[in-house]
Structure 1
Amino acid sequence: MKTLTHEQYLALLYSQNVERQDYAVICPMCGTVQSARLLIQAGVAPDFDGVLRYLGFSCVGRFTGKGSPSVEEGKNHGCDWTLGGLLHCHVMVLEDPTGVKRPVFEPATPEQARELAARMGVIYE
């Protein structure tokens, strides 16, 4: 289990060197790389602020009618997983200054973030 502060987590997202709607994370169950832009496209909310509460916590497939991770793994379109359930299958947590820990999806690599953005029509130089 990796434990990070909020600042360390943000540093990993910032290192992707993309616009905030293209910050990418990876579902720990199905492996789908996803971003705020993908959640917006899926109809979760109309803008970044609206999807922020889901990014890194609920897989995009939860909003697009996908099934369980065991069925959807490797298909790269998401699954119905969320970190708010009874099972704890995450690999990363954020720890606040008081010691409270909250599970999160692991940030994608800069290459993965840019690849996802490119598939969605956004090219970074």
Structure 2
Amino acid sequence: MPEIKTLTVAEFHEALKAQGVSRNEDLAFICPICGTIQDATDLIAAGAGKTFDEVERYLGFSCVGRWTGSGPHKKGTEPGYGCDWTLGGLFALHKLEVVTEDGKCHPRFMPATKEQVQEHVASRWWRHSGRTKPSR
């Protein structure tokens, strides 16, 4: 089992601020199972909700693949397509917990780095166009 990193709420917020985005919709997280970087815009495009407020509860907690029909992650599959993972299930395979002032631990996906967010936002043209993912 991987080591779980813990952050206070303030530290978690700092990690999000370090992404340097101007819109909450662009805050990005990495699914611990399939490695897919995703943000609220992806969740909205996938049908998880119509607004940031509607998808916020899934952001950093459930993989976008739950709404795209991706199914379970297949080991060795390149990240970027999502899977059906959520942190609300029986298995604890997350890498991050945010600890609130009352000492409760809340599992979360790891926040993406600033560089990962920039690449993710720049690739939005193909992700939400219905086109297939460009090869690397």
Q: Is the 8 A contact 1:29 1:73 kept in 2?
A: no
TM-score by length of 1: 0.91
| 2:24 equivalent in structure 1 | 20
Q: Is the 8 A contact 1:72 1:79 kept in 2?
A: no
Distance 1:47 1:112 in 2: 23
2:64 equivalent to 1:40? no
Structure 2 unaligned runs (5+)? Answer: 126-136
Deviations 1:29-68 (A, max 9, x none): 0000000111111111111111100000000001111111
2:6 equivalent to 1:29? no
Give the number of aligned pairs. Answer: 121
Offset of residue 75 of structure 1: 4.0
Q: Which runs of structure 1 show a deviation greater than 4 angstroms over 4 or more consecutive aligned residues?
A: none
Structure 1 unaligned runs (5+)? Answer: none
CA shift in 2, pair 1:46/1:17, >3 Å: same
Deviations 1:49-100 (A, max 9, x none): 1110000000000111111123584241100000000011001001111111
Identity of aligned residues (%): 47
| 2:11 equivalent in structure 1 | 8
Q: Name which one, 1 or 2, has greater alpha-carbon Rg.
A: 2
